[in-house]
Structure 1
């Protein structure tokens, strides 16, 4: 019987953490501590009451002496922050229908929940929520995450992790990097739950690309928490980097304010905490990639545990003994399926300064996009299979013309690749089925191909034959030419050709993308493999006007519009 995840299993672990200046504090007009700062958090333990959240919300409250060397420190205790710092934790009660009391009526107007929540101005009870003052034990850095981040996320690619419209206010990438790998460790009195257990934390080192993940956070932080508290999202492990997979990318969609929220894996023992959300919005070269940046919780706990050992009895008084360990991840109930095993069939295709993705359809033949090889006579496919660094030269034996609606190239390798799983080609498509896109977007060569999940949202036909596949998977620059797989069967459905860009406003939409159906290409590949004749591929250049209209996103052939592909 199918198991339903989410709801109460995650609700007891999530909370909202707000940081602000204490009531009545006189603050200079330009001080950043004027406004309330908030994010999501995780209740690690009910007795003692221990909360883990992202450390960026504390950065405006650093005392002047600590601001200079924030990036060089590994731990900051409470005296490193303003004495006027006030931290509040808001969390859902276990049984919302039986919650008692007017939870927020005694809070001062400076409380972030009151200041931002329009419902709270009525001074009525929010029966599903409780709040309490929290004490900052320490802010701890995760150097393993920082190291992995610096190796795979190049500054030249113009990464940033705030809202795009606030890029100028957020500062430079260097400013953002100061805070991404910091986490706050808080203590609050007993939360009053009947159960006194702890969240089960597991190691991320056994995660695989394509594994299902659940994200639990509160969008917009302390804004309207009675509505947004502990919103769930579902996705897959898109990619990982660093020692023991300390850096995780997932396509679970999260919003600002979910920083510090939990990322959970579903195992035989239930939902288990595997990571903490670091950045819900990632931008690369001014394009939204639609992925969420996560830090493995076991590495965070290891750093906290090391600090507690060094501090000895000083922190034992503030933090009663509790287990800060992450056990091995058990057998996942939501396995990645055959797509994980097909990853070695996906290759990085390099052609001069241009690179993209490709998929092997037999031991010497791969398919990619025309704009990846740019009609060059040679290319250097780099198989992801071990050894990942091996280069195999190839020759572009066919590329469609610029006027063709099908953006396709065929590359023949100089030598055969024998150790790769030959994909099974699909013969039919079902709109609504689960699919995965695999490609070298986002990280490029650094960590092998990334996996994103979604559904086959549309199958566009001409004369009852599929000519375009549309999906909701996130597709980025570098993914072109990569495969579109059916999640459950592992069948190759198509070759990714593009995502969508609205040139009138300069916006890119990674979750609206298009692939060439493999049914268009399968007979051509079979003919070439059998006879060596390229004439069949030339049919792609002679596609009818109606197919061209489809791929140009035009309603009528005679309309002259700039394509959005």
Structure 2
């Protein structure tokens, strides 16, 4: 199937049928009746100047659609008829290119807004991820409080539309993914229009690939993804690699504690359908595909590796750690994560339904050491046999695909299970042929320090240290980050495991000045 048949651009119209500045992506969810679904972002400009409708929305009431007669322009991508006939139904070829066009050709339609609604499951899930009084922000327009509040109010809001005089030219083969298959690490595709109506001839139905970084909330109502999403992609669909619909983008840009997250928030399609009074009719059109449960190889690997990455708490500080030796209860983390261990207990949690384990910080590098590394040992010797033994990657290489796994971003109970992102090993810095620093394009956020970079083969590649920040302009770059290669740490750890002699670990404090310059980012090469 060609999933771009269903994706579209939606522009809300004002007086004289002139498009308002706010617009969004969307999806055709009922090709028989021409029913569209998009995110509330498309209403931003309208609600900003209609306070009565905004107040009704806050009360979760239906907006007075008859009074305002909201209409929209809908643009689909026009495909070459001959090219359409040649399309493959294989899941490997979900997207087919138009040939010979300088801009993306479009089919334009008019549409009527049928319903504006709030998704209750998504609201509850968002409260788990970003409590109302937390330090999250979703504002990419300006910093006025009025617009800030409207953006927050619109976050769980979605819009149903119907195309006028619809003639069905799309084969009705849209399927939704069973919720049991939506898991961290699942490969997903966003099909949406960056910057919406700014330049659809260039951006209409652009494709971005990523993974589900976190599926949380009741019925996995809230999905975090590292697929590229920018303003205008709200309302755009997320598909799995079989072309099954997973969810709709609700927020393309998110900040936590003033730091850009690099992740987008989506609402699961199942939660959305349950919010609709038309649910019964629509689910006769788009059905959850009846498939037997089977582990996707990638999600199975992520689930297995995630068990090795623990939540670390030390006084007011928290971060992540990697269980590197389950039988000895040894956990690698960063020095700065346990910096308050001299006067605070250090404990770890394997998951939200697991008890805390008290640990000793048996080694921590000096502040003068370029390697931000510490080694924890579970107290009273607790064997952790259910955790997989790790295998270190001896030959990391540039361009290698990576998973990041760390306890970042989330709050309350959600923080006790890690999030995942994917990227590649962007730069491997070596000194005397020894890898000493890894730069990756995975999304690294506060809390992920001490977490792990894994290769697609499941081997342990790096110990996450930090992302990058421009302190002068107060801008962070989550996809420009630094990690310590485990192949460099491992000989010292192995020697300690065999001899219990701490002197082997102390050698990590004897790095030369060139290495210190590298890790302080002072090296000019």
Normalization by structure 1: what TM-score?
0.82
Q: Deviations over 1:65-111 (max 9, x none)?
A: 443231222544622x623x331111112327899xxxxxxxxxxxx
Question: Which residue matches 1:537?
Answer: 505
* Residue 294, structure 1, aligned to residue 243, structure 2: no
Residue 189 (structure 2) pairs with residue 214 (structure 1): yes
- Superposition deviation, residue 383 in structure 1: 2.9
Does structure 2 conserve the Cα–Cα contact (< 8 Å) formed by 1:96 and 1:127? no
For residue 471 of structure 2, the aligned residue among 484, 503, 507 is 503
Report the counterpart of residue 14 of structure 2 in structure 1: 21
Aligned residue pairs total 499
Deviations 1:331-366 (A, max 9, x none): 576733523211111100000111000001112110
The verdict on how the C-alpha distance between 1:10 and 1:334 changes in structure 2, with shifts beyond 3 A counting, is: farther
Q: Distance in 1 between matches of 2:274 and 2:481?
A: 40
| 2: CA distance, partners of 1:522 / 1:127 | 52
Q: Deviations over 1:137-170 (max 9, x none)?
A: 111211000011012213454111132x623366
The answer for the alignment partner of 1:438 in structure 2 is 405
1:384 deviates by 2.8
Q: Report the counterpart of residue 401 of structure 1 in structure 2.
A: 366
Q: CA deviation at 1:520?
A: 1.6
Partner of 1:185: helix, strand, or coil? Answer: strand
SS in 1 for 2:397: coil
Q: Within the alignment, does 1:230 sit opposite 2:205 as a pair?
A: yes
- SS of the aligned residue for 1:519 comes to helix
* Alpha-carbon separation, structure 2, partners of 1:265 and 1:478: 28
Q: Give 3-state SS (helix, strand or coil) of 1:222's partner.
A: helix
- Contact 1:77-1:138 within 8 A present in 2 as well: no
Q: Please state how far the C-alpha of 1:236 moved relative to its aligned partner.
A: 0.9
| CA drift at 1:227 | 1.2
Looking at structure 2, the residues matched to 379 and 475 of structure 1 have their Cα atoms a distance apart, in angstroms, of 26
CA separation of 1:495/1:216 partners in 2, compared to 1, >3 Å: closer, same or farther?
Answer: same
Q: Is the contact made by 1:152 and 1:446 (CA closer than 8 Å) also made in structure 2? A: no
CA 1:98 to 1:446, structure 2 compared with 1: closer, same or farther past 3 Å? same
Equivalent residue number for residue 129 of structure 2:
152
- 1:221-245: CA deviation from partner (whole Å, max 9, x where unpaired): 1111121001111111111211110
Q: Does 2:448 match 1:476?
A: no
Aligned to 1:273: 245
Seen in structure 2, the aligned counterparts of structure 1 residues 327 and 402 have a Cα distance that, compared at 3 Å, is same
1:90 aligns with 2:75: yes
User: Which of these residues, 288, 291, 314, is aligned with residue 326 of structure 1?
Assistant: 288
Deviation (angstroms), 1:190: 5.6
State the alpha-carbon separation in 1 of the partners of residues 391 and 178 from structure 2: 34
Matched, 1:493 2:461: yes
Alignment of 1:331-350 (within 5 A): 335-336=298-299, 338-350=301-313
| The 10-residue stretch of structure 1 (86-95 or 291-300) with the greater mean CA deviation from structure 2 | 86-95
C-alpha distance in 2 between matches for 1:373 and 1:51: 51
Change (3 A) 1:69 1:168: same
Relative distance call for 1:214 and 1:125 in structure 2 (3 A) is closer
Shift of 1:55: 1.9
CA offset digits 1:472-498 (Å, max 9, x no partner):
0000000000011002x1001110011
Displacement after TM superposition at 1:412 (Å):
1.1
Aligned counterparts of 1:424 and 1:338: Cα–Cα separation in 2? 13
Q: Which residue of 1 aligns with 2:355?
A: 390
Structure 2: unaligned runs, 5 residues or longer: 85-100
Q: Which residue of 2 aligns with 1:111?
A: none
Paired with 2:484 and 2:246, the residues of 1 have a C-alpha distance of 36
Please state how far the C-alpha of 1:42 moved relative to its aligned partner: 0.5
Deviations 1:7-60 (A, max 9, x none): x722211100001313189xxxxxxxx943200000113321111111232254
Aligned match of 2:334: 369
Q: Superposition RMSD on alpha carbons, in Å? A: 2.7
Q: Taking structure 1 as reference, are residues 450 and 321 closer, same or farther at Cα in structure 2, changes over 3 Å only? A: closer
Paired residue for 1:252, among 227, 231, 235?
227
Give the alignment of 1:47-66 within 5 angstroms.
47-62=32-47, 64-66=51-53
Are the aligned partners of 2:194 and 2:206 in contact in 1 as well (CA < 8 Å)? Answer: yes
Runs of 5+ unmatched residues, structure 1 = 1-7, 26-33, 100-123, 310-318, 558-565
Matched, 1:130 2:131: no
Change (3 A) 1:126 1:547: closer
Distance 2:500 2:130 in 1: 42
Q: How far did residue 127 of structure 1 move?
A: 7.2
Cα distance change of structure 1 residues 383 and 19 upon mapping to structure 2, 3 Å threshold: same
Q: Could you tell which deviates more after superposition, 342-351 or 519-528?
A: 519-528
C-alpha distance in 1, partners of 2:239/2:221? Answer: 14
SS in 1 for 2:228: coil
Cα shift at 1:188: 0.7
Structure 2 residue aligned with 1:282, among 251, 254, 271? 254
Whole-Å separation in 2 of the counterparts to 1:411 and 1:522 = 15
Query: Cα 1:513–1:553, aligned 2, differ >3 Å: closer, same or farther?
Result: same
From 398, 408, 418, give the equivalent of 2:385.
418
Hey, what's the Cα distance between the residues in 2 that align with 1:271 and 1:471?
Answer: 29
Q: Paired residue for 2:90?
A: none
* Structure 2 length-normalised TM: 0.88
2:505 & 2:492 partners in 1: Cα distance? 6
CA deviation profile, 1:256-307 (whole Å, cap 9, x unmatched)? 00000000112xxx31111000001111111111001000011111211x35
Following superposition, the deviation at residue 179 of structure 1 comes to 1.0
Q: Does 1:140 align with 2:108?
A: no
Q: Residues 539 and 420 (structure 1 numbering): CA distance in 2 closer, same or farther, change over 3 Å?
A: same
Match of 1:462 in 2: 431
